Copies of this chain bind each other. A is one copy, B any other.
Amino acid sequence: MRATLIYGAGDVRVEDVPDAKLAEPTDALVRITRACICGSDLWPYKQREATATGDRIGHEFIGVVEEVGSAVTGFGPGDVVVAPFLISDGTCEFCAEGLTSSCEHGGGWGAGTDGGQGEAARVPLADGTLVKLPVSADDPLMPSLLTLSDVFATGHHAAICARVGAGSRVTVIGDGAVGLSAVLAAKRLGAEQVVLMGRHPDRTDLGRSFGADEVVAERGEEGATRVRELTGGNGTPAVLECVGTEQALETALGVVRAGGAVSRVGVPQYEKGRLDFSHVFFRNVSIVGGVAPSRAYIPELLEDVLSGEIQPGRVFDRTVGLEQVPEGYRAMSDREALKVLVTP
């Protein structure tokens, strides 16, 4: 079968690989019908050291079950399923609490498993990992359903960790697909005021249509000052940091209200960050967030996608076939595309 591998910075290839097949009784074999490229895929795309052998890549997909192992009870051939970006057993103490991203037996795609950007994938711990979708594989809702795998679930996680709810005032840092998802998630949870910090008008326009009340294009201290002006002078109690750079963290600390929370969902590109007396400690600012347990969120979010209440799939602005995945990476890396959908 064909699948995507990454060999180094800027070097993504679609190649022949061994066919995906069942290995454990708890596996399902899924024929992939929709996949996509993640902002986090761009970090290795930008900086990975070149290697002679490539690694499978991609971790967001929807597909049709072809075959299941003898221990799988929840799925059978023909089921349309969405795979979260992490594998989880659904039974360990962390899964029981909804922290499926810390599953004791789970893990990621692409390391010892198939990646998500290919024709098919073996899905380990299928009963815990997959969620059945009550639609056909070519349903028009597919783009929005695919965002439940990662990007919209991640935006939702940012909002949940910052305890966004009815009446919340929120700043979202970053107008990438995660930031825009965070805007939509915050509004869905009842936020009263959402300020989106971003400087790409086509993206912030989508942010406005997702519910952003204000857009701040300025960056750094100038941007933070503008946000504070728009939000009563003291900043917002919830700040959703959807970039992952240390500069974005600094901006977040500049716009968070005393007693508030900076919720990080952009993969941090730094080891240490500011935890000092005056910006953080004296002001009782919390640093929260992390890798989204998207599997735990899917059932709730799925309802609102199926009902048409939300359309998170609007973050996709380009669709490519499997052979064009390398071009999709380039387009996202060059900011020509916000988020690329793949139809294997």
A interface, CB within 8 angstroms of B:
93-94, 97, 99, 101-102, 161, 234, 249, 258-259, 264, 267-268, 270-277, 280-291, 293
A94, B271: Cα distance in complex, Å: 32
Complex: A277 Cα to B101 Cα, angstroms: 13
Rounded to whole angstroms, the CA-CA distance of A102 and B259 in the bound complex is: 8
Query: Quick one: copies of this chain in the complex?
Result: 2
12 contacts between A and B (CB under 8 A): A97-B259, A102-B259, A102-B283, A102-B284, A161-B286, A249-B275, A268-B276, A268-B280, A271-B276, A272-B274, A287-B287, A288-B288
Chain B residues positioned under 8 Å from A287 (CB to CB): 275, 286-288
| Other 14 A-B pairs with CB < 8 A, given A101-B282, A102-B284, A268-B280 | A93-B234, A97-B259, A99-B259, A268-B275, A268-B276, A268-B277, A270-B275, A271-B276, A272-B275, A273-B275, A275-B287, A281-B290, A283-B290, A287-B288
Whole-angstrom distance from the CB of A276 to the nearest CB of chain B?
A: 5
The complex places the Cα of A195 from the Cα of B288 at a distance, in Å, of 24
CA gap between A274 and B274 in the complex, in Å: 9
A281 and B285 form a contact (CB under 8 A) = no
Nearest-neighbour CB distance to chain B for A17, whole angstroms, equals: 27
Across the A-B interface, the 3 shortest Cβ-Cβ residue pairs: A284-B290, A102-B258, A273-B275
